[in-house]
């Protein structure tokens, strides 16, 4: 028996559920489901629904089913089923032995339809799809009744059986509910329940040539599984009367409550399966798991953690009105989680050679560097130091402007965990005139990071030893789209893709402790951000690091602005 908490419900859905627990609407039961259609990979919007459904079930001690809503054969596949199973599990949820397929209910659904026909609540209609659409009416005008509306029950039963038997061409007849062509709710104007469609279903093959429509299949699948709260997105609000009508006509034991909430919209990206499919098929991205994609697979490959995604979903909450959530909140949640748990290392994305002229040629020292400055429990590692180093190109300027405090001719800086170095001269590439090498001197008395004479430096920069570091590729990601709301930019949304969403750097150098780093492992590259060893393209001899998220947090600024 589910218990109501003493604290107030955290959202309106939980409020409704607690009301039902108080008035015993479902005998104290709470059962939910997550019902994806396996016609694409899950995205962060689905994660919101996953967290909501599994979260509610866990909170009230009931089950949450994972149900493939696979009643439309076009576009559905086993690849998608497997990806969904994998993604929901990775997000951290468990459906036990309750993985279901709506396609397993095809026979039951057919029998329910027969029952509707027998009670005069459904009829075979022989209008074409276009005619049905034309006669549906508008928001201000009622629809027209079909000339086939009053067919005899026997004739309807016969036609429906023959539809199933494959006697008719696609589109020759449909089965429609007999409700009310004058209903102010267009959904209720004799909606189509079944259509003839010759297509191979990835599970049932050619066994069926008629397939139920969403509105018919969904409520009955919920009822068959004894779901109590059927949570869906707002666009189904107008379908709720139909959901209820079908279950009422069929007198089923379990009549779930449909509850709608606002779908997640995220800035600078799109969360529509249809459009994501287009990006994959047109080759705008490398696949469903391209780290720029808002898919769970893409985020996992990029290095996001399930904890961060769950935390994000908890923070955005659920509401009744649509809004656009700032992607920087998601990044903030990722950063917050990674900050706690991932080790620090040094890597240089765009190397600039530094020669320490007064450091002995063959000498190598090892500096003991903590893996996490705030968490000594994470231990330390030894990082080799030698005469030739790489630093970040942007940490040196030959002619520094006023507020540039890093390395410049005559300027002294601290090397992270190491000595002070001072720039003596530069060597330029004779062809390009660019700085090719910086010559410095070091002060041996500053190994602790401080000068015994108390002199200060204004900057600390990261570095790697040239001979000890290992080469790597770095993949830096920027906003996926150029505009915050590309979904609202009309149909040719691909032209709003950010051409700089991926920057590939092929001559990065990372410290030797990363030799052979395991695919999927995460690190903070000091000063640069959080990185993940790409699980697909990285090999021990050819390391590839995805930047999960840079260190700078723009969310703080955004939320500050919003407060004003």
Cα R_g (the chain), whole angstroms: 31
Active-site annotation holds for 403: no
Strands 365-370 and 435-443: unpaired
Q: Which is nearer to ligand ATP, 272 or 393 (CB)?
A: 272
Nearer to ligand ATP, 319 or 536 (CB): 319
For residue 9, give the DSSP letter: P
Alpha-carbon distance of 55 to 44, in angstroms, equals 16
Q: Do 156 and 124 touch, CB atoms closer than 8 A?
A: yes
Could you tell me the smallest distance in angstroms from the CB atom of residue 69 to ligand ATP?
A: 6
Q: Interface with ligand ATP by CB under 6 A: which range of 46-54, 87-95, 105-113, 495-503? A: 46-54
Q: What is the DSSP letter of 521?
A: -
- The residue among 49, 9, 4, 2 whose CA lies nearest residue 26 is 2
Shortest separation between residue 52's beta carbon and ligand ATP, angstroms: 8
Query: Using CA atoms, how far apart are residues 20 and 289, in angstroms rounded to an integer?
Result: 40
Catalytic-residue membership of 273:
yes
Contact 271, 43 (CB under 8 A): yes
Dihedral, CA of residue 14, residue 17, residue 22 and residue 26, to nearest 10: -160
CB-nearer residue toward ligand ATP: 167 or 322: 322
Instruction: Give the shortest CB-442-to-ligand ATP separation in angstroms.
Output: 55
Instruction: State the minimum distance, in angstroms, from the CB of residue 164 to ligand ATP.
Output: 26
Judged by CB under 6 A, the chain residues 263 through 302 that form the site for ligand ATP are 263-264, 271-274
Q: Is 366 tagged catalytic?
A: no
Burial status of residue 453 (CB atoms within 10 A of its CB: 0-12, 13-18, 19 or more): exposed
Residue among 31, 32, 36, 269 that touches ligand ATP (CB under 6 A): 36
Q: Residue 35, interface with ligand ATP (CB under 6 A)?
A: yes
- Residue number with CB closer to ligand ATP (35 or 529): 35
Query: Does 45 interact with ligand ATP (rule: CB under 6 A)?
Result: yes
> Least CB distance from residue 259 to ligand ATP, whole Å?
11
Q: 436: which 2 tokens?
A: 């090719």
Q: Does 229 interact with ligand ATP (rule: CB under 6 A)?
A: no
Q: Is residue 14 within 8 Å of 3, Cβ to Cβ? A: no
What CA–CA distance (Å, rounded) separates 21 from 13? Answer: 12
* Cα–Cα distance, 18 to 425 (Å, whole number): 73
- Say which of 14, 48, 121, 273 is annotated catalytic: 273
User: Site for ligand ATP (CB under 6 A): which residue of 81, 163, 232, 497?
Assistant: 232
Structure tokens at 560: 């500050």
Fill in the DSSP letter of residue 364: -
Residue among 102 and 132 whose Cβ is closer to ligand ATP: 102
Minimum distance from residue 447 beta carbon to ligand ATP (Å): 54
Per-residue binder mask for ligand ATP (CB under 6 A), 47-76, x = binder: -xx-------------------x-------
Catalytic residue among 25, 263, 353, 447: 263
Binding stretches for ligand ATP (CB under 6 A): 35-37, 45-46, 48-49, 69, 232-233, 263-264, 271-274
- Residues assigned a catalytic role: 37, 263, 273
């Amino acid at each position: 028996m589910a218990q109501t908490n003493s604290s107030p419900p955290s959202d309106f859905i939980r409020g409704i559920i607690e009301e039902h627990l108080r008035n015993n609407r479902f005998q104290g039961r709470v059962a939910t489901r997550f019902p994806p259609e396996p016609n694409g990979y899950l995205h962060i919007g689905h994660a919101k629904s996953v967290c909501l459904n599994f979260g509610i079930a866990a909170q009230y001690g009931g089950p949450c089913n994972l149900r493939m809503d696979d009643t439309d054969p076009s576009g559905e596949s086993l690849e998608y089923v497997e990806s969904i199973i994998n993604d929901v599990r990775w997000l951290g949820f468990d459906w036990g032995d309750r993985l279901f397929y709506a396609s397993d209910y095809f026979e039951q659904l057919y029998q329910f339809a027969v029952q509707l026909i027998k009670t005069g609540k459904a009829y075979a209609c022989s209008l074409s799809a276009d005619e049905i659409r034309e006669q549906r009416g508008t928001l201000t005008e009622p629809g027209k009744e079909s000339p086939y509306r009053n067919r005899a029950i026997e004739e309807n039963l016969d036609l429906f059986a023959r539809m199933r038997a494959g006697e008719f061409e696609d589109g020759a007849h449909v089965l429609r509910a007999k409700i009310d062509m004058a209903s102010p709710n267009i959904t209720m104007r004799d909606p189509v329940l079944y259509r003839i469609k010759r297509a191979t279903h990835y599970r049932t093959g050619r066994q069926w040539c008629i397939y139920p429509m969403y509105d018919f299949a969904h409520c009955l699948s919920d009822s068959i599984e004894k779901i109590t709260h059927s949570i869906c997105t707002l666009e189904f609000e107008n379908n709720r009367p139909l959901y209820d009508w079908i279950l009422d006509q069929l007198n089923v034991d379990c009549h779930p409550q449909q509850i709608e909430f606002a779908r997640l919209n995220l800035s600078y990206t799109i969360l529509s399966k249809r459009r994501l499919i287009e990006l994959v098929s047109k080759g705008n991205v490398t696949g469903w798991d391209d780290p720029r994609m808002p898919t769970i697979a893409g985020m996992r490959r990029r290095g996001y953690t399930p904890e961060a995604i769950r935390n994000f979903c908890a923070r955005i909450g659920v509401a009744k009105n649509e809004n656009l959530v700032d992607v920087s909140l998601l990044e903030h949640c990722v950063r917050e989680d990674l900050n706690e748990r991932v080790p620090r290392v040094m890597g240089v994305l765009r190397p600039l050679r530094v020669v320490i002229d007064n450091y002995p040629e063959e000498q190598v020292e090892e500096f003991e560097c903590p893996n996490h400055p705030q968490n000594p429990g994470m231990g330390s590692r030894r990082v080799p130091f030698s005469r030739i180093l790489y630093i970040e190109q942007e940490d040196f300027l030959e002619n520094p402007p006023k507020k540039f405090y890093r390395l410049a001719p005559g300027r002294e800086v601290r090397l992270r965990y190491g000595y002070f170095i001072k720039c003596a001269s530069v060597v330029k590439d004779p062809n390009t005139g660019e700085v090719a090498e910086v010559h410095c001197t070091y002060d041996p008395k500053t190994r602790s990071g401080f000068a015994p004479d108390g002199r200060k430096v204004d900057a600390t920069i990261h570095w790697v030893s040239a001979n000890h570091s290992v080469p790597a590729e770095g993949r830096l990601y920027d906003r996926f789209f150029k505009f915050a709301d590309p979904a609202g930019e009309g149909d040719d949304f691909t032209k709003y893709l950010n051409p700089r969403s991926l920057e590939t750097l092929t001559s990065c150098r990372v410290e030797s402790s990363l030799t052979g780093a395991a695919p999927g492992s995460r690190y903070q590259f000091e000063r640069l951000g959080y990185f993940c060893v790409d699980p697909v393209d990285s090999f021990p001899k050819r390391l590839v690091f995805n930047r999960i998220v840079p260190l700078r947090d723009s969310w703080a600024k955004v939320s500050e602005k919003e407060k004003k």
